[in-house]
A and B are shown apart, each in its own frame.
Chain A
Amino acid sequence: MKKLNLLLVLVLVLTTVLAGCGNGSAPAEKPAAEQPKGEAPDAEPEKVLADDQTLIVGTDAEPAGIDPHKSTAFSSVRITNKLYESLVQTDENMNIVPSLAESWEIPDNTTYVFKLKEGVKFHNGREMKADDVKYSFERILNPDNACIAKSYFKTLSEINVKDEYTVEFKLSEPYAPFMSYLTSVYASIVPKEVVEENGDLMQVECGTGPFTLGEWVPDNQMTLVKNPEYHIEGLPKLDSVKLMVMTDESSRLAALRTGAVHLTTLGSQNLELVKNNEDIVIKSYQSKDYTYLGFNTTIEPFNDARVRQAMSLAVDRNEIAKIVFNGDAVVSGPVPPAFGKWALNVEKNEYFNQDIERAKELLKEAGYENGFEVEITVPSAYPEVVSTAQVLIQQFEKIGITATIKQLEIGQYVEAWKTLDHQVMAGKNGSGTDPDRALSFFFNTDGSANVWGFSDETFDGLVNEGKITVDTDERVSLYLDAQEKLFELSPNLFFNAPMKYYFVRSNVEGFNPNVFNSEDLRYIQIYK
């Protein structure tokens, strides 16, 4: 019986300790400053590289296959863009710069000639040559392969191998976004023999990228190993990267605090929790995702542009940024400020500034003086969108519109989005790497993602012209006009582009995410 008593005491101690941990203020608020075991910050110790150059990343989802042409989920893309490379890439200022192609010429507006870098090797040791480029694009264009980038290159009519290191692309008509689509990881160069041997590249890899695939334990971890023959000397600096699948955000935070992972993504609500922690630094960048409210423009009252304008004028976008994103977001149109000269300065646009009186007048003109009721459909999986809709309810009330929220699980949401089975819908979109994608894709009459029933001749004219105008300045001005027109017609109301955050251990250096390349791990080094 004594033993039983002892056991009872043990069990009670465990219970009390666990319960005590939840007492009082949230445990996460425990001052992080208590944890560091290192020297005082003013001592500035000399930095010594750690013996183990293995970066451990806490990732929120398991990659669903690693075929660069077929795997479209972000969880896959963040892997494939480390294993494979495309002909060209985008730098942080949205300029197109060399990658596998060292130079290129555009002799006329339907011909592009690329000179490949010599000596670039696939991970199986074979050199990458012009034939591989031809094969990769043929694979993308083959309808049997159902590759996502097929629609990017529908104007590509001929691929000619000029010599071992020169390849020529002929387009059926001028297509200005062509170069920016070439930067996509969906347009990676892959070796024919590996695809043929395995059927596809979902579970195997053979790219030219800085890392090769090591061990892969589904739903647990994936190891990427340094490619010793990478074509840029001295890179990557790491020996390997271990991606641990940790779907739970609080687990990722706890693991980062203890140093069990070096780098992870977390929502902005965690910023406060680590602000006093000297072991964790925050790397942020302005994202090109934006939140929006989209109208079903085929039904009353949203088929009247005045109603949509009135609702746009009722919104205080800075208030949404403050409440939903804690102020860490900018007001953004579909072409976000990160696009530089391509983005219209929305702060000066009349429809982006709250004007309740004018909104009421417009509603009156449209015959809705007493307002109306509206149901906003939101995806429950995106908390920032749900919160945005909640703020909108308050703001619409000021012009007499009574809004309610209908939350849908993501599969149902996509279904409603696709079939126009909604009145208005809040969501978030990404803008891609070209204004054509940001505008034409969502709002052109025949745009693949124009699920608003929206159609305007002037707008279509501008974006169609933009698609075939190769001169950059001329193109910029066309897209600025298109944005002006779009805001005037307001098929969508555009709100905020939030900041994105990486939480990184302070002994990790060389990681500088930017909007066009948020996860370049090549320059990272780990210090003791």
Chain B
Amino acid sequence: MRSYITRRLLLFIPVLIGISLAVFLLMHLIPGDAVDSLLGVEATDELREQLTKQFGLDLPWYEQYFNWISGVLKGDFGYSIRTGKAILPEILSRFKVTFELSILSSIISWIIAIPLGILAAVKRNTWADGLARVVALFWVSIPNFALVTLLLLFLSLQFNYYPALQYTAFFDNPVQNLKTLIFPALVLGAIMAGSVMRMTRSSMLEVLRQDFIRTIRAKGAKEKVVIFKHALKNSFSPIITIIGMQIGYLLGGTVITEQIFSLPGLGLFILTGINQRDYPVVQGSILFFALVFVIINLIVDILYACIDPRISYK
């Protein structure tokens, strides 16, 4: 197991170098540059030149890349062109918000989806199954911006309520933190729940049809034991895969939800960075996001081994 993890960790290096290079080139290939976005029509040629030089944008691209990546290796992600602030602390403070939101919405989705999925599988082809599938389909199909906007309108028009605007960190004031995050988390949770529920149902159905379940039933085990101890445990691998992927995406920033609920998360940060051609911000954030994504994938792979004794990494 240990050698497997070491090998996976070593594989991170080429993956991250590849991603950093791709992001760097893509950002520099888009027409328009940071200085123009910063100055707009007020720019004079002299001013433009001055700033281009100041930000090192006059150097050849490979030199710019080298300067940036060698900084990153030393833990220095550089400074934002737009605001002049150091990037790493900015990423970390925003990641905290996105992380909280992701975890909260994941928990909500598990609470909804897994019991619903089990119910639908056990009561296959009954009204309960049909209803649960329709609901899941609705959640999967509705775009998240529509659900978010509807929720906000519903709260403001029906209850004259608007979720708390000022973000407070969880450890400073958990209640206030929850007030800000609960509605966006509900929406994201519901949307995630759709696919998790569908996956739980189909995976459970598959396991329930297998011979060992029949054998357990024949041995006279209680239905509760059959479902929760044997069937559920054995159907968990695909569910974990989909949950892992979803958390990965959520951590990359849920741009639209963050934007509509005005949450200072990573998604909004990257979006503003792209619009302003703030190269170091976009490069740094995406590299960070990629790192998080590969780590989560690794965790999911390790979890497989914990759940399914047949899987072992050598």
Question: A residues near B, CB below 8 A?
Answer: 1, 4-5, 7-8, 11-12, 14-15, 17-19, 21-22, 27-28, 30, 35, 37, 56, 62, 64-65, 72-73, 143-144, 146, 148, 150-151, 200, 202-203, 217-221, 242, 244-248, 250-251, 254-255, 257-261, 409-416, 418, 429, 448-449
Contacts and interface: CB of A to CB of B under 8 A. Distances in A.
25 contacts: A11-B116, A18-B150, A27-B153, A27-B154, A27-B157, A64-B82, A72-B40, A73-B40, A146-B51, A148-B42, A202-B83, A218-B83, A218-B85, A218-B90, A219-B264, A219-B269, A221-B167, A255-B156, A258-B156, A410-B275, A411-B30, A415-B33, A415-B36, A448-B44, A448-B45
A350 B183 CA distance: 57
B112 interface: yes
B44 to A, nearest CB: 5
A200 B47 contact: no
A413 B265 CA distance: 28
B169 to A, nearest CB: 10
Interface of B: 30-33, 36-47, 50-51, 54, 82-85, 90, 93-94, 112, 115-116, 118-119, 128, 131-132, 135, 138-139, 146-147, 149-158, 160-162, 165-167, 186, 190, 259-265, 268-269, 272, 275-277
Contacts of B31: 411-412, 415-416
Given A220-B264, A255-B162, A414 B40 contact: yes
Given A65-B82, A254-B153, A8 B165 contact: no
A146 B50 contact: yes
A158 B45 CA distance: 24
| Centre residue among B36, B40, B112, B157 by max chain A CB count within 10 A | B157
Contacts of B44: 150-151, 448
The B interface, classified by DSSP as helix, strand, loop or mixed, is: helix
A60 B259 CA distance: 10
B153 A412 contact: no
A65 B79 CA distance: 13
Those 10 A-B pairs whose CB atoms lie nearest each other, nearest first: A411-B32, A219-B264, A260-B162, A220-B264, A254-B156, A21-B154, A258-B162, A202-B84, A146-B50, A412-B31
A105 B44 CA distance: 31
Given A148-B39, A200-B84, A449-B41, 11 more contacts: A4-B118, A11-B112, A18-B147, A148-B42, A202-B83, A219-B272, A258-B156, A258-B162, A409-B32, A411-B277, A414-B32
A37 B161 CA distance: 13
Contacts of B162: 254-255, 257-258, 260
Contacts of B261: 251
A73 B81 CA distance: 13
A219 B94 contact: yes
A251 to B, nearest CB: 5
A491 to B, nearest CB: 16
B112 A221 contact: no
A154 to B, nearest CB: 9
Given A148-B39, A151-B44, A254-B162, A21 B150 contact: yes
A219 B32 CA distance: 24
B39 A18 contact: no
A143 B264 contact: no
B153 A250 contact: yes
Contact of B161 (A14, A73, A258, A411): A258
A12 B190 CA distance: 11
A17 B190 CA distance: 13
Contacts of B260: 248, 250-251
A7 B165 contact: no
B32 A65 contact: no
Contacts of A246: 165, 262
Contacts of A412: 30-32
Contacts of A200: 84
A218 B264 contact: yes
A153 to B, nearest CB: 12
A8 B132 contact: yes
A420 to B, nearest CB: 14
